[in-house]
Structure 1
Amino acid sequence: MKAKSNLSLLFVAICLLAITSCNKQQTYVPKTTLADSLIYAATSVQDLDRAVFLSDSLLATGDISIFRHCYMKGSIFIRTGKTHDAEAILKHALAIKPQNAYDSLFYFQCVKAMVEYNRQKNDEEGLLRIALPAYEGLYDLVSKPEYASEAYDILAEILQYVGVSQLNQGLTTEAGKYFDKCYDCILKVKALDKSWKHDYYATVCLYNIASLYSFKNDYHTAEKWLNYTEPIIKEMANKDNVPAVIADMSWCTYYLDRATVYHGLGKQKEADQAFEAFKRTQYAKTDIAKIHEGEYLMKTKRYAQAADAFAVTYRYLAESGSERTLDNVGYLIKKFEANYKAGRNDSALSVAAYTFENLDSAITLEKKNQAIELATIYQTQQKDAEIAEQKAKLLQTRVLALLVALVLAMTFFMIYAVIRRRQRISLEEKNQQLMIANARAEESLRMKTKFIQQISHEIRTPLNILSGYAQVITAPDMEIDNETRNDANQQILENTDRITGLVNKMLELSDVSSRTVIELTDQVPAVQIANQAVHSSGIEDAAHLDFQLQDTDGAGIAVLTTNQQAAVRVLSLLLDNAMKFTAPAEAYGHHSAADNKRATLTITKHDYGIQFIVEDTGIGVPAAEAEHIFDEFVQLDEYYNGTGIGLTVARSLSRRLGGDVVLDTTYTAGARFVFTLPCNW
């Protein structure tokens, strides 16, 4: 019945358009006002396919501008996961200059959607390149009273995205300035327009800012922005025409954010009260709210309750209608982690198997997207070739003309010869640059493809093991002794840890690419960093080698000003490397079984600071590969499992800490990596 009602509403709207088209006026605004009503009716009932069809029809009849059309379709494509289509149509709109204030309004709506798209794909540079010029241009539009409130709304969201980008790059002060400008725009909108819609947009902006500070563990600042949000929600909820679901959803989000902040500040009693208030809202019963509830419960270590909340994950992904992307796999990983930490091994195994199926689909989709990108590159190259061919024909025509004029003007010919020579050199240089760029693109594609294959293999192996043991344990007629059951449980724990570690490495690689600034505010002794890294890597418990931690010249007591978590992670990665490449020879069949495997971590003083030297008697690294091994996805020995990103992450983190990681090529008994951190003596 609901679907029929929605279709009826859309049918009536189209009939209204047909009737009014018979007496169409020449003024632009009345037609657009009616078209806006029709588009709003279509999107309100969530009939997005018909909304796209309606937008195409209204554009064809001239009832909406190209900017209104591109904004609507681009927004729908982003919501439905068709990011390539969204990017293409929004770029088309941004390439056109608006002719009037109304067009400018939707032009900047397209700018906002494009900024949001760049934020989703973590393209900080692209975001700022689009947002900053628009930020200046919007101040002209807000001077027009009829568009001021909408323009301030757009400006507030763009300022919010700029602030988020600055904060992610570690520019805390600059981010705060943009966020304050965003709040100033929100207050101006409230003074201009008292409708609940602007209040709702304001709360969304403020929630996003508060949530980001919570994610950065800056709970005091997050609390400040939630305090800004609370009076706006109260005012909106008291308005007569606000839909009950909007008010309920706003309170729901507010209470959960408030619970997260209180938990981060150590105010657990207040956090529990806020969480109970969240549970009392109607919106808390929706699938997406359940997933957010599960994320909060994971933070508070209530894993069993979190697992219950994540029970709706499958249904949410199915009903959302989005493609099986690597981002959506993240929801499944959260569900898996909750069940695993809650001790629900059977459920965790089931989620792991389902995740594996979705991962295959996500990898296939990623390859498809890469194929689309390659097709675009190929089409661009074809166009370049056509342009080059046209230039060559033009040159031939000029040569013939010059040959005819040679008898009359030798001087002119000499001047032309010089010009032609310069053009040829320039063309050759451009061709060489194009060849180099093409080679780089091909190498990048090859490395991406190899990485995807490695990731697929790395996850497939432990999941196959988990699946095998699950079948054995759950077989109804299978009788298993305690020793076999204990071994199966151990294998399940090891392989789940292996999957979790791999996902964490992938997230670390994404952070490496972002080049985010690391704050150096921790005062920590060098030996504490070493001890935490040893514990984190588990190298002391490795049965196949002897490990020693050595402190020379009292270097371990030196206090470093650094980022403790990042420094420990660098050293842990180097110890993991040593532990892996000193594995028992019989596991790989190409080393002597008589090798005496050992590893040493030495802390020593250096002219520039403190050095952590990780030395092992493993397979070693050829001197010629001393720099190559730090490149992404590089693996010198294919007999060993891995993704080839550990050393890349280690070097990137070390350099962002002001130090470095290098391979000592003078050591030939295995591998020796030197991790240096600056220290003021």
Structure 2
Amino acid sequence: MQRKAILVYLFLLLSVGTIYAQKVDSAFLNKMRAYYDKNFNDPTNPIVLTASDTLLDMAIKANDTVMTKMALGAKLDYYYYGQGENRTDSVIAGVNRLKQYARSIKNPELYYWSWSARLINYYLIQGEYNIALLEAEKMLQEAETEGISSTVAECYSALTNIYSAKGLPRKSLEFMLKEIQLFEKGVTRYNISFQYSDAAKIYIDLGEEENAPELLKKALTTAKSPYHKVTAKLVYVSLYLAQDNIQAAQQALEECRQIYADEPSLRRHLHYLYDVELDYYWKVGNYTEALDVLSKQEAELRKTNSLTTLISLIKRKADILWEMGRKEESAALYREYLDEQKKEKEKSEEITTSEFATMLNLQQLSAEKSRLEKISQEEQLQKTRITLFFVVGILCLVFFFWLKQRTLNDRLQRSKDKLDEKNRVLTEAREELRKAKEVAEQSSWMKTIFIQNMSHEIRTPLNSIVGFSGVLVDMLDDKEDIKLYVSLIESNTKLLLKLVGDILDLSALETDVEIKYGAVDVNVCCETSLEITREQFSEGIKLNFEPACKELTIESNHHYIVQVLENLLSNAAKFTQQGSVTLAYEVKEEEKQLIFTVTDTGIGIPVDEQEHIFERFVKLNDFSQGTGLGLSICRIIADKLGGYLIVDKEYTQGARFIFCVPMQGV
């Protein structure tokens, strides 16, 4: 008992602890997300470095994989979008951390996204196109080996960006369309809207703007964020400019500006808006606004240290000044552009040389690694062979001893099985004896109770019959007294007959008696039961009948229904001294049930005795006539008919019995 109490206490303690932990976790998650919203709007803000470490600790404690990914990605994005020349190692380290985490949570999409969207794109920003291409080919080979279509699509996206940066739009468009094809075959791509927009932009730049509208419609349909939507809208501006539809271009540009104003998270992508604004102002000849946009764009690019793009801005500014007639300023910028282009070319050659050296070193390292792995494999194979011989020898010895032990165990098990079988037979015999004893004792007890009740109940009417018969003989001259005694003899005879009838009914119902069904007129059943019991009611008791229908015929048993209603009305007559007794019925069409109710204004039944009265030989008033079998027989009949008999607990003005039978029409 004490052990059970301890277990219950521990269970309650664990339950309360779990509920409390859930509340704490919920509050902690809300706090963590609020922390993210507060500190990670601008990826170039130095606070991201310390905040990402704090967020990572919080996410690990909460076991939140999504927030862990966002914390690692935020620190990586700081270096990816940040300033400075020497951040390559930090980007590589950040990508490797994110890839390692993606493998640990079995998220291949995150693995290839960090490789493509961050490492390869970073090499593109730095102008290291060959290294980026090498990484993309390695990534595609690994993805094709794994056979996951979504990761292959990520590789196509990376190759698209590389060929675009190398100035090969046709090649870029080829891989972009491959990625779109995978998406349309069922691959889930969150950023597929970008691919539709970028493909449309390439077609516009190639002078094939007739292919752009359909792609732009798909871009808007698949847009899942303001960034997706504004990207497609910006390409629409370029399309309208190519079609010389200046009014439509202006309207689309204003819509894009509003989206940027409403979404602070788009600040990092302002350079896309500046590119389109520059094209628009240049197209409409508003050179002053075009120069202003160039100044804003230059400021943004200097933040991200995108030197290659800055050089192209110099040429565009020179072109605008030339068209404005400011030819001396334009010529100076052209000279600056040529100087920067020369420097960029020299730098590109240095980068290319460095890239080839890096790739050569990688190939040498790969070859050396393969050679060392081969040597290591041969040594490992030799050790494995020696170990295998020892293991085989030990296994042979173990098998011999195991076989011998198994033989002994089999013998023991057979002996144990025989013993268990004998114990089982003895246990079954003991259980059967116990059950037989219980049945015998129960039968003996029921027999004793039955004999006691029957002796008392039969003796009472017999005494009356014998006594009043003798008096009747002595008083033959007094006709009035004779009439009284004859009526007493008649009533006790009826009581005795009912007692015998109840016993016979109970005996018959306890067997598998077959109930015969036929057409039953419900109103006739009710009137018959009322007619049988009418003389039992005292003067002044109002006997009511409230039928639900003028005529109602169902498929049931007339005798059993009348017997139940007669018993219920007889009980009401016994315990109702004034007021009324009402027999009614109602039809429940949906449930296919016929509900009889017998309601009286008598002394009522205590709530705690309302189920007890349906047991055999139970009488709430020991001085009242009856065997205590009537209600028990009625409930058995209700069950046999497929219905039920209960006391209405909500009725408190007397007693109300509810008798339900299934209703089947004929």
Q: TM > 0.5 between the two?
A: no
TM-score interval, normalised by the smaller of the two chains: 0.3 to 0.5
Larger Rg: 2
TM-score by length of 2: 0.38
